[in-house]
Amino acid sequence: MSRTEIYERPWVKKFKTGEYLNDWKGYNTILIGGPYSDNIGIGEEKFSHCMDFFCGIGDVDWWIKEELDKLTKKEEEELEWICKYKTYLKEEVITIEKVKLLSEFYGCETFHIYRTGDKEILNLIKTLNNFNNLIVNGSKPCSDPKTEIFKGNPNNFEVMTFEEYKEYHTPKPVGLEIKKFEVLLDGGSIVIDTNEGTYFIDNRIGSMTINNIYDAIPESLEDYSNMLEGETLTDTIEKLIGGLSNFKNDFYQTTINHIITELKNKLK
């Protein structure tokens, strides 16, 4: 290297080439297991090979793209959940407000609390959260007005476990949603329009399939092409019961309640 050349650290070059990344999906390594992040026991160590850091005058941490690219889809999802949960801890649980409360309780400075590490702070907050629940519930029911007032107060140390967080933030499958319920003048057949299609409960005059369920309106009395049977019928009945139970219609409510009862009888 000549005198006129400026030395460039290897990790700086790799940032320029894209081999090292400042963040992955919006998360830096500190939120998962970088030099200043505590391992709180939710699987962070499994992904330690995906990151590295440099400590000097100005510390730097990074993701290693090559290692990230080797992750399976399942591993990527696992890593992202860890990042999301530790972000939640940083932004909603181990906050400066909560650390101030802890420092006031112990009569120390906030930095004394931070120096114990995220894992120990989290363990303490979990303990305080559990104790708050004990205060609320006690060893037996309490009807004292002061207890009711306390129950209405916010829990300053509320925290979700990793599993609770994942369950809470995992999108729930959308059930059958009833859009329209109609009774026809063909003898009383039911047409139910849903987010999954149209269902027809047969009650046509002259029909040989009274009370049978179709996943489309039959074109004639001899059209049985869309009549449901077997497991498909059972699954559809269960979905219709759920959808109709959540559907309200003042004009048809008595009929809807009757249909729900009839559908439940079909499952017996």
Sheet bearing 190-194, strands edge to edge: 178-183, 190-194, 197-201, 213-214
What's the 3-state SS for 58-106? CCEEEEEHHHHHCCCHHHHHHHHHHHHHHHHHHHHHCCHHHHHHHHHHH
Q: What angle do CA 262, 225, 231 make, to 5 degrees?
A: 50
**Token representation of residue 21:** 């990344």
Residue written as tokens 């059930």?
175
191-248 residue pLDDT tens: 999 999 999 999 999 999 999 999 999 999 999 999 999 999 999 999 999 999 999 9
Residue type at 239?
K
Helix H or strand E segment including 263 = helix 253-266
So what's the pLDDT on residue 141? 66
So what's the pLDDT on residue 1? 47
Report the alpha-carbon distance of residue 30 to residue 118 in Å, rounded: 12
Show the low-confidence residues of the chain (pLDDT under 70). 1-7, 33-36, 139-142
So what's the pLDDT on residue 190? 95
Q: What is the pTM of this model?
A: 0.63
Number of CB atoms found within 10 A of residue 5's CB: 7
Q: Name the residue ranges covered by the structural domains of the chain.
A: 10-93, 96-169, 178-266
